[in-house]
Amino acid sequence: MSSDVTPMAAPTGALAKPDPDACAGVVELVTEYLEGALDAAVRARFEAHLADCDGCDIYLEQMRATIAAAGHVDVERVAPATLDGLIAAYRSARGA
């Protein structure tokens, strides 16, 4: 998404243009939100953003569907080399 694009009002029924800064915050907090670990004030701001951002609302529903499909992974049963690889991949993606 280019930052030099002038936002336009979304037509009725169309997806609203997301605010990249606010959306990045939602992505960072979604796990804590789903685990019920956010304090009340942060949760309220998170839910207010979801109410106004179709993209983040869809993202949250995709995460719920992924969790339901994947089930629960017992970290204690994951081979150390696999866990190290996953952590390295996550850190690499976060640094990009």
Alpha-carbon span 30 to 55, nearest angstrom: 13
pLDDT at residue 22 in the model: 82
Structural domain containing residue 87: 20-95
* Residue 15 maps to a domain: no
* Residue 37 maps to a domain: yes
* Residue 14 maps to a domain: no
Alpha-carbon span 43 to 16, nearest angstrom: 21
Encoding tokens for residue 41? 């004030």
Tally the domains of the chain.
1
pLDDT surpassing 70 at residue 4? no
* Residue 7 maps to a domain: no
pLDDT digits (tens, 9 = 90+) for 17-76: 556 678 888 888 998 999 999 999 999 999 999 998 989 999 999 999 988 888 777 878
Instruction: Flag whether the pTM goes above 0.85.
Output: no
* Residue 34 maps to a domain: yes
To the nearest 10 degrees (0 to 180), the angle between helices 20-34 and 40-52 is 120
